[in-house]
Amino acid sequence: MPAYKLHYFNLRGRAELARLILNQAGVEFEDIRFERSEWPALKATMPFGQVPVLDVDGQILAQSNTISRYLARKHGLAGKDEWEQAQADMYADNINDLMTGMRPAFLEKDAEKQKELYQKFLVDNVAPHVAIVEKQLEKNGSGHLVGTELTWADLAYYGYFAFLVEKYGEDFLKDAPQLKALIALVEALPNIKKWVESRPKTEI
């Protein structure tokens, strides 16, 4: 088994999906976290000057979805065939887009304006996406986004939407019983439950 070291801020953020995949797969890894104050000194040591970065036996891999896709394929969570893998990629890329769309609100320093930006994002971006995915879950009919088994797409949606529920409550899921059930399904997985209960407590 390779020795994994995952480097990221002391946040969930863009590294949490990789952590969820590794935990669900029962794979040990070194979760290397650092504070924002430490980042200027570390930035030059990272490829492309970004994190997360995954060290695999001394070989370095950057870009959050690239890391998660690699780990999912390596540990049986990518989908059963090329079409399922492509579908899982599609869903994970959608979550990446949603995370990018939240960035202006995240960076806003004024608390009142930040709240307004988050609420606007929930209405303009999250709500339409939830409606689309709800229909796709219903059409798939297995309780999963892709095929009939757990993939990293399910973990990606759990990671993102569980965060939104934690931060804003469940109102945005009131017309989305399928997505709500998917979140609950992933949350109840023993390895995920153990990770969520033991991981460092961070705001995001």
- What gap in Å lies between CA 45 and CA 49, rounded to an integer? 7
Ramachandran class of 111: left when φ > 0, alpha when ψ lies in -120 to 50, beta otherwise: alpha
Burial 51-68 (b: 16+ CB within 10 A, else e): bbbbbbeeeebbbbbebb
With respect to residue 204, please indicate whether it lies within any of the assigned structural domains.
Answer: no
Verify that 87 and 156 share a domain, yes or no: yes
- Supply the pLDDT for residue 138: 97
Verify that 163 and 141 share a domain, yes or no: yes
With respect to residue 86, please indicate whether it lies within any of the assigned structural domains.
Answer: yes
Residue 200 has pLDDT above 90, yes or no: yes
- Supply the pLDDT for residue 165: 95
- Read off the pLDDT of each residue in 10-22 and give the average, rounded to a whole number: 97
Verify that 133 and 177 share a domain, yes or no: yes
Residue 133 has pLDDT above 90, yes or no: yes
With respect to residue 72, please indicate whether it lies within any of the assigned structural domains.
Answer: yes
- What gap in Å lies between CA 3 and CA 28, rounded to an integer? 8
Alpha helices of 35-176 — where are they, by DSSP H?
39-43, 64-74, 82-101, 103-107, 111-121, 127-140, 152-168
Cβ contacts of 113 within 8 Å, gap of 6 or more? none
Give residue 157's pLDDT band: very low, low, confident or very high (50, 70, 90): very high
Residue 57 has pLDDT above 90, yes or no: yes
Verify that 126 and 57 share a domain, yes or no: no
pTM, 2 dp: 0.96
- Strands laid side by side in the 53-56 sheet: 30-34, 4-9, 53-56, 59-62
Q: Which amino acid is at 92?
A: A
What is the extent of the structural domain holding 32? 4-76+191-198
Look up the CATH number of the domain holding residue 175: 1.20.1050.10
For 165, list phi and psi in degrees, rounded to 5. Answer: -60, -45
Residue 106 has pLDDT above 90, yes or no: no
Look up the CATH number of the domain holding residue 70: 3.40.30.10
With respect to residue 203, please indicate whether it lies within any of the assigned structural domains.
Answer: no
Verify that 90 and 164 share a domain, yes or no: yes
In eight-state DSSP terms, residue 194 is H
What is the percent of the chain where pLDDT is above 70?
100
Total structural domains within the chain: 2
Verify that 12 and 40 share a domain, yes or no: yes
